[in-house]
């Protein structure tokens, strides 16, 4: 069974979706540890309650990104992860860190990449007036919120939506596609080859989800 480590910074609802899938028997992984850069991250308590090893490494205690990332990687590597999962981890990672975990580092981003990288994706989608929005699981590369796409889910932007209603609709899909992507990795159906996603042929149709609100 593959070993995974999850990095969080806050609420940790995507992490919870992964724990729930593991507990339901639909995600055959060992969640070796949950690590946060914020000591007060709500998700740390949730993980501890689930009996998972937790750590925090406060980025504010380090002089720069390189030093923080080196300490973070040292902690992560004590768990020998096959896969490292960014789940609301709000730090830009150094190229050295990204290279170290190449092909075994996934992120979830709350937009249909390459649209709306960065922050405040839902408000920006509303401001642009797009009709379709969503979320993306991708392998991480040195470029922020960029990298080979594994799976996306599309949701409609409805009349009367505000940031909160739209983000809730997207989040429901995040909780579907992240466990799905990790399951594929765990089952050796998902790999990164020469910078491109290689997905078992029978899964191609499953790599685009539509929310029930999307006609």
Give me the least distance between CB of 214 and ligand GRF, in Å please: 19
109 binds ligand GRF, rule: CB under 6 A: yes
* CA atoms of 75 and 174, how far apart (whole Å): 27
Q: Is 12 one of the binding residues for ligand GRF (CB under 6 A)?
A: yes
Whether the link from the prior residue into 93 is cis, omega within 30° of 0, is: no
Asked if 13 touches ligand GRF (CB under 6 A), the answer is: yes
> Does 138 contact ligand GRF by CB under 6 A?
no
∠ CA 57-93-197 to the nearest 5 degrees? 125
* Closer by beta carbon to ligand GRF, 120 or else 198: 120
Query: Per CB under 6 A, which region of 55-63, 73-81, 102-110, 151-159 contacts ligand GRF?
Result: 102-110
Question: Which residue from 27, 54, 110, 137 is in contact with ligand GRF, where contact means CB under 6 A?
Answer: 110
**What is the Cα–Cα distance from 16 to 62, expressed in whole angstroms?**
28
Q: Residues near 203 by Cβ (< 8 Å), separated by ≥ 6?
A: 184, 189, 190
Q: What is the DSSP letter of 139?
A: E
Task: Write out the residues near ligand GRF by the rule CB under 6 A.
Answer: 8, 10-14, 87-88, 108-110, 135, 171, 174
């Amino acid at each position: 069974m593959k070993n995974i480590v999850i990095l969080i910074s806050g609420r940790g609802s995507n992490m919870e979706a992964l724990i729930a899938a593991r507990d339901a028997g639909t995600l055959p992984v060992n969640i070796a540890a949950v690590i946060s850069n914020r000591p007060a991250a709500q998700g740390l308590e949730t993980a501890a309650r689930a009996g998972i090893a937790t750590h925090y490494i406060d980025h504010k205690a380090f002089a720069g990104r390189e030093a923080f990332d080196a300490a973070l990687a040292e902690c992560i590597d004590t768990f020998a992860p096959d896969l490292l999962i960014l789940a609301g981890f709000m730090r830009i990672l150094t190229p050295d860190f990204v290279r170290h975990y190449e092909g075994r580092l996934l992120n979830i981003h709350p937009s249909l990449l390459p649209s709306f990288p960065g922050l405040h994706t839902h408000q920006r989608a509303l401001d642009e007036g797009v009709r379709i929005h969503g979320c993306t699981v991708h392998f991480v590369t040195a470029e922020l919120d960029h990298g080979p796409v594994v799976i996306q889910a599309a949701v409609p932007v409805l009349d009367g939506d505000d940031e909160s209603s739209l983000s809730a609709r997207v989040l429901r899909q995040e909780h579907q596609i992240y466990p799905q992507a990790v399951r594929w990795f765990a089952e050796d159906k998902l790999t990164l080859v020469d910078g491109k996603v290689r997905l078992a042929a029978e899964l191609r149709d499953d790599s685009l989800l539509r929310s029930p609100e999307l006609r």
